[in-house]
Structure 1
């Protein structure tokens, strides 16, 4: 599908199908694989009419080798498939003011390219917040002020209002909706906002963000705060209602989940909310708006048929506790913050995307840093109802098989179906709560009746299932348990790792996913795996 296949309401395409998006394959790579050499974080971006992808960074040198600034603007050319190149444009006081220095510094949160003045050339608008910094408690835990700066010459010079546009911690993390190149010509600019802070506030100076708010402003008056309108809810037809009074606004999305509620056995932070600075992009191939967010150790994805919702949680990608491995490591595995999915890199059918995320922590020279504009592959595939032909061999080795795991310590999901039993993975950097999962997903259903599980090597600290594991299959988008026999019987203690394999047999099913799921065991509460095979054994003519 393309953008022209959908009705346009107030300058934004809307999918009349409000049912939650169902994906047969939802896969996010374990680490960045493409990057533009640079230094900095956050990197909100906008695709302009001149085909440039303009972006802004915080805390670095940007695409220059020298000259640190708290805010920088640059341009990225190229495509992930062929390589990216970043060029510096402006930095520091050239870009935006600091309203409350030195207690706060500048951080970019959103960018949009739109021809609001009708001169045939896009202007760039960049949302910038004051974020707490310095040596006092609460560094990076409070964002009380934000405004929008403007460039009429593709990022080289900038101008701003005489006063902040948003104050008192209200709507101070501003993320502009990415409708596509040049804002897809919309007469409106849409923006999402978060109160208080750009992510979980570790010192709780302000409440952790759990609500995402929504606003619009005419493209001709983005810097005129009096022309902004805020979402107050949906009417009986599912369309948005608006108000000029920011105090009367309502959230478009509320998510009160808490990820990693308890510290890891070896320490570290805990208790993170899922609403944070990221980005929202219109994906015409899927006919959905996608919001990419994050917690400290996960990426969180949401989808909606209209920019005002209804929003549904789509996927969590879990990278586990630190330490992580940098993108150049042979065992690359890391999450990252402020994730966005630039519309310039979305495939025509919408199924292949590239997630930008960045990671501040240092890494060994072998692993490299992810503190730059970096991308990883995302596959969101609704697939097909047509049943795949029966296979003679291990279905896990099919080229359209996508591994499914709750998390992997070394980032190597390929271990599940690499055909080798001498390489293992485990979930040892998990939250210590909830079930562990090892399995597969396919873009089309297929028939099978056997799963063979090979655990990892012996380990007294964990690696086995304390309860289960049970076999579940996905049919019509729902996971359901199957009655299975297992040989040899699975012992829910450390001796379970002494067996070479466990064979689970069950009545033939036709499904597009299969998984082993159960409670992790051991003092560190994790499970391990060397291989997972899927077979169709019975029922052949």
Structure 2
């Protein structure tokens, strides 16, 4: 019989998580079951909804392309941070008042747009990667860079990567590798970023590293390739401290390299779920496959949710329901084992749904790790909106003031796309 001392030694060794050694995911997880009867409509207007836990147990949530929960809306934002207090059935939302302004309506239409993605709070410090795009006119614009912004005082003051303040939203001529963490990498790799999150009551970094996922490009065949780097939390502002996953050595251990050119995918999602033309001329390649990953401490594994956009026969976005999947792995670098697949993702049984960008809410995971809440947005009705967009332009032409324009646009979007908001659903894990 194993002695208590031997048992404790094994446990402490597992907790130490030495570099490159697999933790061993819980083999009891057989599948995941989204519960349609639990779907909640949590309001707001926008998408993204990347989340992170705060020291006080509340969550931060990113909202892109909308006014969020402002009522009445006063502006449309490319991105903004909100706080969430309470559980999914009691959630209360409040805006972070000092977040750098990205009022979309107030900015010139030809200016670069910036969209919030990976975010994490470590003590009083908040770090967020904000993505931007190229200036192409003859094809869909593609993601081209990631800018790191951060706060050392719980969101009261925000800084550029080099520590200067206020945050600068660089124009086209100002964008460079000096001001961005990633800029014009091969095929736009690492422009879209997602940070591994801890669940409630767990350390932010189980082994002392921050793990950050990116996509290997902005076209099908690259956007479906998941790439990864890691960095010590105290060095996140230093690009030279990043170590990119570069495959495995002969013993199967992870290789980490300072050279981004040596990156190797940790997982490949199915092809065929990235748009190559747009409903709206000059718009972006839609955010396909950027995952949400949380460490499930009670079950000893990493959980990943991701989705690919349903592409119509003409290559435009949201022509059919999205692909949705859930995976688990013993390490951030895999190997990833799929526990749920839906090739026509229709939450709540709505066959017209155009759900996308699923997020595992790190603060809404059961204490035993056996269930969690998934959050997403839905663009059902976007094709009708595209057909009638000139009606919105006409309505806005006769309106003075940014707040008034925000009210008109909000009413229009809610009429056409009622699911373009924060939606949530419980997912149960089935164990052996």
Structure 1 residue 249: Cα displacement: 1.4
User: Is residue 157 from structure 1 mapped to residue 179 from structure 2 by the alignment?
Assistant: no
Could you tell me which runs of 5 or more consecutive residues in structure 1 were left unpaired when the two chains were aligned. Answer: 115-120, 262-271, 384-541
Matches within 5 A, 1:164-313: 164-168=180-184, 169-181=188-200, 184-186=203-205, 187-197=208-218, 201=219, 208-258=222-272, 276-296=289-309, 297-313=322-338
SS of equivalent to 1:344 = strand
Partner of 2:355: 336
| 8 Å Cα contact 2:355-2:380 kept in structure 1 | no
Structure 1 residue 258: Cα displacement: 3.6
CA gap of 1:231–1:354, structure 2 versus 1, over 3 A, is same
Q: For 2:360 and 2:12, how far apart are their aligned partners in 1?
A: 21
Structure 1 residue 334: Cα displacement: 3.0
TM-score, normalised with respect to structure 1: 0.56
Matches within 5 A, 1:65-144: 65=71, 66=73, 67-80=75-88, 82-90=89-97, 93-94=100-101, 102=110, 104-114=112-122, 121-131=123-133, 136-139=137-140, 141-144=141-144
Please identify, of 155-164 and 286-295, the stretch whose mean Cα deviation from structure 2 is larger.
Answer: 155-164
Partner of 1:449: none
Matches within 5 A, 1:377-392: 377-383=426-432
| 8 Å Cα contact 1:59-1:70 kept in structure 2 | yes
CA gap of 1:243–1:333, structure 2 versus 1, over 3 A, is same
* CA RMSD, 1 decimal: 3.8
- Greater strand fraction, Structure 1 or Structure 2: 1
Cα deviation code 1:374-432 (max 9, x no counterpart): 2111111113xxxxxxxxxxxxxxxxxxxxxxxxxxxxxxxxxxxxxxxxxxxxxxxxx
CA gap of 1:101–1:309, structure 2 versus 1, over 3 A, is farther
Q: For 1:13 and 1:359, how far apart are their aligned partners in 2?
A: 39
Q: For 2:182 and 2:103, how far apart are their aligned partners in 1?
A: 15
SS of equivalent to 1:148 = strand
Q: For 2:19 and 2:95, how far apart are their aligned partners in 1?
A: 32
Structure 1 residue 211: Cα displacement: 1.1
Structure 1 residue 72: Cα displacement: 0.7
SS of equivalent to 2:80 = strand
SS of equivalent to 1:54 = strand
Structure 1 residue 77: Cα displacement: 0.9
Partner of 2:395: none
CA gap of 1:44–1:259, structure 2 versus 1, over 3 A, is closer
TM-score, normalised with respect to structure 2: 0.69
CA gap of 1:342–1:291, structure 2 versus 1, over 3 A, is same
Structure 1 residue 143: Cα displacement: 0.4
Matches within 5 A, 1:478-517: none
| 8 Å Cα contact 1:36-1:76 kept in structure 2 | no
Structure 1 residue 287: Cα displacement: 2.0
Cα deviation code 1:185-237 (max 9, x no counterpart): 4332110111323xxx5xx7xx5512111111111121111111111123355
Q: For 1:302 and 1:145, how far apart are their aligned partners in 2?
A: 27
| 8 Å Cα contact 1:215-1:228 kept in structure 2 | yes
User: Is residue 7 from structure 1 mapped to residue 7 from structure 2 by the alignment?
Assistant: no
Q: For 1:137 and 1:92, how far apart are their aligned partners in 2?
A: 34
Structure whose CA Rg is larger: 1
CA gap of 1:101–1:152, structure 2 versus 1, over 3 A, is farther
CA gap of 1:178–1:165, structure 2 versus 1, over 3 A, is same
SS of equivalent to 2:113 = strand
- Greater helix fraction, Structure 1 or Structure 2: 2
Q: For 1:313 and 1:273, how far apart are their aligned partners in 2?
A: 23
SS of equivalent to 2:363 = helix
CA gap of 1:361–1:334, structure 2 versus 1, over 3 A, is closer
User: Is residue 375 from structure 1 mapped to residue 424 from structure 2 by the alignment?
Assistant: yes
Partner of 2:341: 316
Structure 1 residue 312: Cα displacement: 2.3
SS of equivalent to 1:83 = coil
Matches within 5 A, 1:406-445: none
CA gap of 1:138–1:59, structure 2 versus 1, over 3 A, is farther
Q: For 1:8 and 1:151, how far apart are their aligned partners in 2?
A: 30
Partner of 1:46: 52
Cα deviation code 1:491-525 (max 9, x no counterpart): xxxxxxxxxxxxxxxxxxxxxxxxxxxxxxxxxxx
Structure 1 residue 138: Cα displacement: 4.0
SS of equivalent to 2:419 = coil
- Report the number of matched residues: 346
Could you tell me which runs of 5 or more consecutive residues in structure 2 were left unpaired when the two chains were aligned. Answer: 1-10, 163-178, 276-284, 310-321, 383-412
